[in-house]
Structure 1
Amino acid sequence: MPDAAVPPLRRAVDAQGTGIAPLRWPLEALWAQLEPLRPGLSVEALVETDSTSTRLLERARSGDGAPCLLVAERQTAGRGRLGRTWFSDTTTASSSTADGLGSLTFSLGLTLAPADWSGLSLAVGVALAEALHPGVRLKWPNDLWLIDEAAPGAPGRKLGGVLIETAALPDGGRYAVIGVGLNLARPDARPEITQATAGWREIEPLARAPEMLARLAPPLLIALGVFEQRGFEAFATRFAARDALAGRPVQTTSTDAERGVAEGVDARGALRVRTERGEERLIGSGEVSVRPC
């Protein structure tokens, strides 16, 4: 279909805003599935951008609070927690067997008004992990881990991550942008990557980015609707079933650099750590992370 005939709510554009993106993203089918869940939703694909989340946040700050699912084949300035970089290469040494993309990177932006925002990243993680595989676990507060079930107790490897940011709208509402990055191929070694990594093609060797987007987006949008109505309570049991840290020794990077044992999360999604001084509860802010030790 020529680009001019593509409805504007389901469009694929290149970095300059013209032309069809090279991959055949299932925009029409995905929009038809998602729009009834969030009326007015647009579904868009970019060949390249700095950051899908940045693009949606800029729209919101300019007064555009329309819901949007935005996917990019390559990000040049993707972000993770604590100011880290999310690498989103078009190709990697191990990605040539499928569509040439080493990762799937997308952001979902929409207005949300939950009574309590606590635990949102955990709820998002639950939705993604459940849509993927039983071997995918959740490392508090926002990482997807792939666990080797043949080696009980072995540490997991990072498969992907979630970054949630918000912007105030002129009408007083809050626009949430949920950024998701999933390694399709295992990332090539870089000095900046300091933890063990995994790629989804270890599970499904022929997995392609467009099909993975169609797999993850519907349960994510449904989960956000549930969270808005019921908060983290609706996800607590499901998170516990995927909790990668429960029962593991951990070290926090809080001011006191506490060591202890992770004991799950509380009703609001705070990590519970049993230390020598008693129980410590960590909120998923940018100032705290945990690592198995």
Structure 2
Amino acid sequence: MMNWPAEAIWEAVAPTLPGFTVEVLPQIDSTNTELMRRARAGQTEPVLLVAETQSAGRGRLGRAWQGATAADVGATLTFSLGLPLQMADWSGLSLAVGVSVVQSLHPDLQLKWPNDVWLHDRKLAGILIETASVNATRYAVIGIGINIAPRTAIGLATPPAWLQELEPGLDAPATLLRVAAPLVQAVQRFEAQGFASFRAAFLQRDALAGRHVSLSDGTQGLAQGVDGSGALLVHTSAGLTRVSSAEVSVRPST
């Protein structure tokens, strides 16, 4: 296995997140799936679960996430943060997570609403958030996959981007060390303040702002940022439309 900074991450996070642990596994079907299984079985302790390889990684809307295989361990960083959260409004959580990730990694990275990190219009990372209700607790599982190095991409219309384009010496463990503790802090801030406190930072990294986009229902328009709850604002022929992440996929028009 690679040399993962589990202890350093634990030392940075544990003082503000009691009961927090870090686990690193050589292989799993999906880190998100595993933490959801645990949550449904009543295990709701905060945990960061890292897997060197995944056999059944998942993305948004049921899509497969192509994680690292045994042949290219380290080419992709895949991990999930699981923790109980208590908040009235979950709107915009994936956007807040994205803000944390790009701020931790590189100023050239942008955010493609609602859950992707882009480098020059190519996907570098993806975010998948799931929740489970356990008794009176709602447990969030925040899965993140980040391309670190070049790898084979099967069935993708646009080749993926990877972090080593920006920093050639960066590896998966070093990337995790950069991202993990700030991510926990961002989620805790979101729990206390909601998306409104992240909106300005998101708008600075918004990859779609001012661009013509096509919605999954066929509607086209001009993307005009997001509102205070994280909904995408699109100016269409019918006027300004507010789009929630549960309703559509968004792609720049060609």
Q: So what's the TM-score if we normalise by structure 1?
A: 0.84
Separation in 1, partners of 2:38, 2:212: 42
Match of 1:187 in 2: 151
Alignment match, 2:80: 107
Determine if the alignment matches structure 1 residue 174 to structure 2 residue 138: yes
The answer to whether the 8 A contact 2:53-2:70 is kept is no
Q: Which amino acid aligns with 1:209?
A: A
User: How many Å separate the matches in 2 of 1:221 and 1:89?
Assistant: 24
1:91 CA displacement: 5.9
- Which residue pairs with 2:249 in the alignment? 289
Judge conservation of contact 1:249–1:292 (CA < 8 Å) in 2: yes
Find the residue that maps to 1:115 and give its secondary structure.
Answer: coil
What SS is found at the alignment partner of 2:81? strand
Structure 1 counterpart of 2:41: 62
1:11 matched residue in structure 2: none
1:220-262 C-alpha deviation (Å, 9 max, x unpaired): 00000100000001101000000000000000003xx101000
Pairs within 5 Å for 1:84-233: 84-90=63-69, 100-147=73-120, 156-170=121-135, 172-191=136-155, 193-233=156-196
- How many residues align? The count is 253
1:111 maps to a residue whose letter is P
* Counterpart Cα distance in 1 of 2:116 and 2:45: 27
Greater helix share, 1 or 2? 2
The answer to which of 241-250 and 196-205 deviates more is: 196-205
2:187 aligned counterpart, secondary structure = helix
Q: CA deviation at 1:265?
A: 0.4
Q: Choose which of 258, 272, 277 in structure 1 pairs with 2:233.
A: 272
Larger Rg: 1
Q: Deviations over 1:14-63 (max 9, x none)?
A: xxxxxxxx111111121111111211001000000000011111111001
In the aligned structure 1, how far is the partner of 2:139 from the partner of 2:158?
A: 32
Please give the secondary structure, in 2, of the residue aligned with 1:36: helix
4+ residue stretches of structure 1 with deviation over 2 A? Answer: none
1:83 aligns with 2:62: yes
For residues 80-105 of structure 1, give each alpha carbon's deviation from its aligned partner in whole angstroms, at most 9, with x where no partner exists: 0111100112366xx6xxxx411000
What SS does the aligned partner of 1:218 have? Answer: helix
- Per-residue deviation, 1:195: 2.7
8 Å CA contact 1:145, 1:244 repeated in 2 = yes
Q: How far, CA to CA, are the matches of 2:48 and 2:153 in structure 1?
A: 30
Identity of aligned residues (%): 52
Deviation track 1:153-202 (CA, whole Å, cap 9, x = no partner) reads xxx110001000000112x11000000000012332312x2233101111
Q: Is the 8 A contact 1:43 1:68 kept in 2?
A: yes
Distance 2:10 2:74 in 1: 22
TM-score, normalised to structure 2, is: 0.97
Relative distance call for 1:75 and 1:259 in structure 2 (3 A) is: same
* Conserved? CA contact 1:253–1:290, under 8 Å: yes
Alpha-carbon separation, structure 2, partners of 1:60 and 1:180? 18
2: distance between equivalents of 1:279 and 1:112? 33
Return the alpha-carbon distance in structure 2 between the equivalents of residues 194 and 47 of structure 1: 30
For 1:213 and 1:125, locate their aligned partners in 2 and report how far apart those are by CA, in whole Å. Answer: 14
Structure 1 gaps, min length 5: 1-21, 148-155
Distance 1:108 1:284 in 2: 21
